[in-house]
Structure 1
Amino acid sequence: MTKALLFDLDGTLIDSAPDIHAAAIGTLNDLQLPPVPLSEAKQYIGDGMERFVKRILTRQWWGEPATDLLTHAKVRMNIHYERECTVRRLIYDGVKETLTTLQAAGIALGCVTNKPLRFTQPVLAACGLDVFFSAVVAGDSLPVKKPAPEPLQEACHLLNVDCHDTWMVGDSVADARAATAAGCHFAVVSYGYHRNGHLPDADTVIKFFPEVINLINFQYSTEKKTSHAGC
C-alpha cells in the first residue's frame, strides 16, 4: 500500500534549467570560458551542484577540472544562482493540483533533491510548493546525496513511513539508483532532464504529472525490492 511519495525537484516538479543555465553562463563569462548551450546544460543537471560545475567546465560527463579552477567556479556559480534561482523557474502542468489531491488523500509527501538546501528552500517557496512537503532532504542535508539511498531513507524516517510503502518520483539515473538501494518503488517522468534522451529503468513511466495519482493504487507485477539498513 502506498503511504508516501517522494519527489525530485529539478526536471520533476519544476523546469529549473533556464535559471541554472543563466547562472552557468554568468559563471563561464566570469572565467572567460565559452558558453554552454541550454540543451547541453539540461543534460548536466541531476547529480548536485559541484558535478554540474565540473561538467560545464570540462564539457565531459565525468570530467575533472583543475582544483583552483573548480574552487573559483563554484564560488561564482553560487553567486549567480542565488540571483537567478527563482527568476525563470516554471512549475510543470498539474503539479500543484496533483499535490493538493494527494495531500487531501492523506498521502505523506517529501522532496528529495541534490540541490543545496540554501537554494531548495527559496525555490520551493517561490513556486508555492513548500506547503506540500512534510520532509525536505537536500543535497547537503546529509554527508551523501542521491544515488546513495540515505536521503530517501531519511525522508521516509521524517515521514514515519516504510521505504517499501513509498514511491520515489524522479527523472534521473541518480533517482532510480537511490530508490532501488533504499527499497522504494520508482516512477520516472518522461519529460525531465534525461541524458541523451534515455529513461532510467523504472517500475512505471509518468508522461504527465497528474498520472502520479495512479501510484496510490498501483498494482505491482514484481516483488518489492529489498531495502537496506534504516528502512
Structure 2
Amino acid sequence: MVVDAYDFWLFDLDGTLVDAEWSYTRSVFDRVGERIDRPFSDREAEIIWHGLGGARNPILRAWDIDPAAFWPAFHAEENPQQRAEATYLHGDADALLSVIDVPIGIVTHCQSFLTQPVLEQLALDERVETVLCCTDETGWKPDPKPVQSAMKQLNIGRDSVGVLAGDGESDIGAAWNAGLDGIHVERHGPDHRGRCVLGDYRVRSFDELPY
C-alpha cells in the first residue's frame, strides 16, 4: 500500500491539497491587470494561478510582462482573509490526510501571509507538523533545498523513505532532486495543462492511490 510505504509525507498546498474558488482568482487578476495596465484573459489567469505551463516567470516574460512588476502587484491585490474564505480542501486530499499516521509537512510557493490564514481556516495547521513557504532565501521548487529544509524541521532520519505530492512539475522535480518519490495529482488534465507531467505515481485524484 502506498501510504504505508513512506516514513513521511510532504505536500504542495495550492492545487494539491486546496484550491480557491474561481471567482476569487478572477477578481485578483482583474485588479492586477488594472495595476499593471495589462488585462488577463481567463486562460492566462488559469495558467499563472495554477502554473499550468510550468515555471511562471518565463511565461510572464513571453507575454511581455516583467515579473518584477507583476508579483508585487499580485501580492498587493491578494487579501489573506478573503483568500482563506474562498479556499476549500479537496475531498480526496482530506481522505488521504486522514489515513497517514507518519509526519506530514507542506512545502509551498504560496507566501506565508496567505498560507497561514488558509491553514487556520481549514484546520490544516492541526494536521501537519511543519509548513515551509518558499522564498528567495529558502529556494524555490524544483530546487531541493526547501524540501530538505522541511525534512530537517521534521527531524527526518537519513534512512527514512519519503514522498512529495504535488500538482506541478516543479513539485515532482523537487521530490526527485531531494531523493524522494513524487506523486503528481493532475486536477486539470494534460490537454488543458498543455503538457504531461511525469511522476512515480500519476493520478487524477488521491482516491486512486492504494490505501
TM-score bucket (shorter structure): 0.7 to 0.9
Q: Is the 8 A contact 1:109 1:134 kept in 2?
A: yes
| 2:120 aligned partner | 125
TM-score for the superposition, normalised by structure 1: 0.74
Q: Is the 8 A contact 1:188 1:199 kept in 2?
A: no
Question: Residues 125-204 of structure 1 correspond to what in structure 2 (within 5 A)?
Answer: 125-140=120-135, 142-162=137-157, 165-191=161-187, 196-204=193-201
Q: 1:129 to 1:59 in 2, by over 3 A?
A: farther
1:44 aligns with 2:48: yes
Matched pairs, number: 200
Distance (Å, rounded) in 2 between the aligned partners of 1:141 and 1:31:
23
CA displacement 1:194-231 (0-9 Å, x = unmatched): 673433211011322234564xxxxxxxxxxxxxxxxx
Unpaired segments ≥5 residues, structure 1: 215-231
Q: Amino acid of the residue matched to residue 90 of structure 1?
A: Y
Distance (Å, rounded) in 1 between the aligned partners of 2:203 and 2:145:
24
| 1:76 aligned partner | 73
| 1:15 aligned partner | 19
Q: 1:33 to 1:40 in 2, by over 3 A?
A: closer
Q: What's the offset of the Cα at 1:44?
A: 2.0
Unpaired segments ≥5 residues, structure 2: none
Q: 1:207 to 1:196 in 2, by over 3 A?
A: closer
Question: Residues 201-220 of structure 1 correspond to what in structure 2 (within 5 A)?
Answer: 201-212=198-209, 214=211
Q: Is the 8 A contact 1:112 1:136 kept in 2?
A: yes
Q: 1:162 to 1:171 in 2, by over 3 A?
A: farther
Distance (Å, rounded) in 2 between the aligned partners of 1:172 and 1:116:
17
Q: What's the offset of the Cα at 1:193?
A: 8.2
Alpha-carbon RMSD across the aligned residues, in angstroms, is 2.8
Aligned-partner SS, 1:94: helix
Q: Is the 8 A contact 1:171 1:192 kept in 2?
A: no
Aligned-partner SS, 1:86: helix
Q: What's the offset of the Cα at 1:162?
A: 4.3
| 2:32 aligned partner | 27
Distance (Å, rounded) in 1 between the aligned partners of 2:9 and 2:186:
17
Q: Percent identity?
A: 22
Distance (Å, rounded) in 1 between the aligned partners of 2:136 and 2:125:
16
Q: 1:151 to 1:201 in 2, by over 3 A?
A: same
